[in-house]
């Protein structure tokens, strides 16, 4: 029975790790998806606003801008600069593969500051939400165990000495596999 409870604890531990994976690792959002950070398709100057609205950005995620570095850039701007497509003194990224961490909740504004690119639709506002509060760890109550009924000792069986051997044997309960399993699941085996 101890092994069954150990497995349940192990399963709960793994499930808890998976639940926290998003907040620990975050998501890399490739801005524009398959279109990347480039001129919007056709004449859709609202392309990036529509694209952004379809995604859920959370603190800990990253905005990844992939583009041809000799043609575009990414500049961090204010809300007013975003609306008017005005260049700013904000951070400008120019590598063509820029990953910008979204570290706080709120609105982030980005434009391509190459002349006329913002007016052509190369601007995006990203609304970042606070990370969801982590759920409390799941707790389980171990099953109630009723005592086992008494058993009768088997009829006297002859006790045979172990066969002669030149190697010392390790009791099965102390095998390496049993010890590793016990330490992984916090189970104590008694010999």
- Residue 50 has a pLDDT of 95
Q: Does residue 113 register a pLDDT over 90?
A: yes
Q: Does residue 175 register a pLDDT over 80?
A: no
* Summary mean pLDDT of the chain: 76
Q: Is 27 exposed, middle or buried (0-12, 13-18, 19+ CB in 10 A)?
A: middle
Give residue limits of the domains in the chain.
27-129
Pick the range with the lowest mean pLDDT from 51-60, 97-106, 147-156.
147-156
Q: How far apart are CA 20 and CA 138, in angstroms?
A: 13
The DSSP annotation for the chain comes to -HHHHHHHHHHHHHHHHHHHHHHHH--EEETTGGG-SSSPSTT-TTHHHHHHHTS-EETT-EEEEE--TTT--EEEE-HHHHHHT---SS-EE-SSEEEEE--SSEEEEEE--STTTTTTT-EEEEEEEPPPPPPPPP--PPPP-PPPPP-PPPPP-PPPPPPP-SSPPPPGGGSHHHHHHHHHHT-----
- Residue 42 has a pLDDT of 87
Decide if 6 contacts 12 (C-beta within 8 A): no
- Residue 43 has a pLDDT of 84
Decide if 119 contacts 108 (C-beta within 8 A): no
- Residue 38 has a pLDDT of 96
- Residue 13 has a pLDDT of 44
20, 111, 112: which is closest to 58 by C-alpha? 20
Q: Does residue 109 register a pLDDT over 90?
A: yes
How do residues 124-161 score in pLDDT, each as one tens digit? 999 999 987 666 666 666 666 666 666 555 555 555 55
Q: CATH assignment of 27-129?
A: 2.60.40.420
Q: How far apart are CA 39 and CA 133, in angstroms?
A: 37
């Amino acid at each position: 029975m101890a092994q069954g409870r150990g497995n349940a604890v192990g399963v709960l531990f793994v499930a808890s790790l998976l639940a926290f994976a998003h907040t620990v690792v975050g998501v890399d959002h490739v801005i524009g998806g398959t279109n990347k950070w480039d001129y919007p398709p056709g004449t859709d100057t609202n392309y990036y606003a529509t694209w952004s609205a379809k995604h859920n950005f959370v603190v800990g995620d990253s905005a990844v801008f992939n583009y041809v570095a000799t043609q575009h850039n990414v500049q961090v701007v204010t809300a007013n600069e975003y609306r008017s497509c005005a260049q700013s003194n904000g951070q400008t990224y120019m590598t063509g593969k820029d990953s910008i961490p979204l570290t706080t909740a709120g609105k982030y504004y980005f434009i391509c500051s190459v002349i006329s690119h913002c007016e052509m639709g190369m601007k995006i506002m990203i609304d970042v939400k606070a990370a969801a509060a982590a759920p409390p760890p799941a707790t389980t109550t171990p099953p109630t165990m009723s005592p086992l009924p008494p058993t009768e000792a088997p009829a006297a069986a002859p006790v045979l000495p172990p066969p002669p051997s030149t190697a010392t044997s390790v009791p099965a309960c102390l095998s390496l596999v049993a010890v590793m399993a016990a330490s992984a699941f916090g189970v104590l085996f008694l010999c």
